[in-house]
Amino acid sequence: MPVTKSEIKFIRQLQQKKYRKQHHAFVVEGWKSIRDFIKAGYNLQKIYTIRELEGIPVNVTIKIINRNQLKQLSFLQHPKDALAVFEMKQTAPLPDSGLILALDDLQDPGNLGTIIRTADWFGVRHIVCSENTVDCYNPKVVQATMGALANVAVNYTDLAGFLQKTKCPVFGTFLSGDNIYQSTLPQDAIILIGNEGNGIKPEIGKLTTHRIHIPQASGAIAESLNASIATAVVLNEFYRRFNNLHHD
């Protein structure tokens, strides 16, 4: 059965945030990631696939198409085996305990997707974003998470207001501050990551209770770490402390 022009138009619209909000829907590509969202309880609206699939919920429209038709729908240069439209989940309540990531105006979809994937790896279940941070349902973000978005709650809110109200200590990542490897790191904490080019805004920085930095090797000329790499290093150190892991 051919893909209709209206279907192509609808899928294409979901590349844009305003239409994702309007339809309360987003696109996931690749059966592995699609399956992760199904398992996480996301409502699957429709799936386009080049092969028969098992594990599709009942009452979901399944359309078997060929690879050329999938190319018409896909946002990828090299489409995978399936593309699905999911309904967005209700926003989870803002967290007030555990290890929480807070993101101050991150703009790069690849960075956010990698951060969500890294958060899932280290057991972080909540990310709180400023309202100007890139949308987590952006197709490039969803793709970069490799399904991990299904396992991490992402909130968008007034970040300053959230940090002012929280009872958790706020660990801001800066180019200068206390060496993370020599700092006391609690299990209930907020890790604050700044914008790729500008770092943490001054008005947000004032709300941190601890300034930490990742020490640079002698002779290194790089001015800073990529935001997603810095997040991975910091989460790894918090995780190591919680689990009493020791470097050999």
pLDDT digits (tens, 9 = 90+) for 18-75: 999 999 999 999 999 999 999 999 999 999 999 988 889 888 989 999 999 999 999 9
Tell me if the pTM is above 0.85: yes
pLDDT at 170 (0 to 100): 98
CATH number at residue 37: 3.30.1330.30
DSSP characters over 144-188 = HHTTGGGGSEEEEE-HHHHHHH--S-EEEEEEEEEEGGGS---SS
pLDDT tens per residue across span 83-111: 999 999 988 889 999 999 999 999 999 99
Which residues form the domain of 29? 5-87
Cα gap 100→107, rounded to integer Å: 19
pLDDT at 1 (0 to 100): 67
Assess if residue 92 is contained within a domain: no
Assess if residue 219 is contained within a domain: yes
Pairing state of beta strands 189-193 and 170-179? parallel
Max intra-chain CA distance, the chain: 62
The token pair that represents 184 in the structure block? 């006391």
Are 231 and 202 contained in the same domain?
yes
Are 136 and 57 contained in the same domain?
no
Are 171 and 82 contained in the same domain?
no
What is the average pLDDT score of the chain? 94
Positive or negative torsion for Cα 128, 204, 20, 230: negative
Are 177 and 150 contained in the same domain?
yes
pLDDT at 47 (0 to 100): 96
Are 196 and 117 contained in the same domain?
yes
Are 65 and 29 contained in the same domain?
yes
Last-in-domain residue among 87, 116, 150: 87
Q: In what side-by-side order are the strands of the sheet with 82-87?
A: 25-29, 82-87, 44-49, 61-64
Residue 215's CB: how many other CB atoms inside 10 A? 10
Are 110 and 230 contained in the same domain?
yes
Cα gap 76→88, rounded to integer Å: 21
Cα gap 210→170, rounded to integer Å: 6
The total of structural domains in the chain comes to 2
Pairing state of beta strands 189-193 and 210-213? unpaired
CATH number at residue 171: 3.40.1280.10
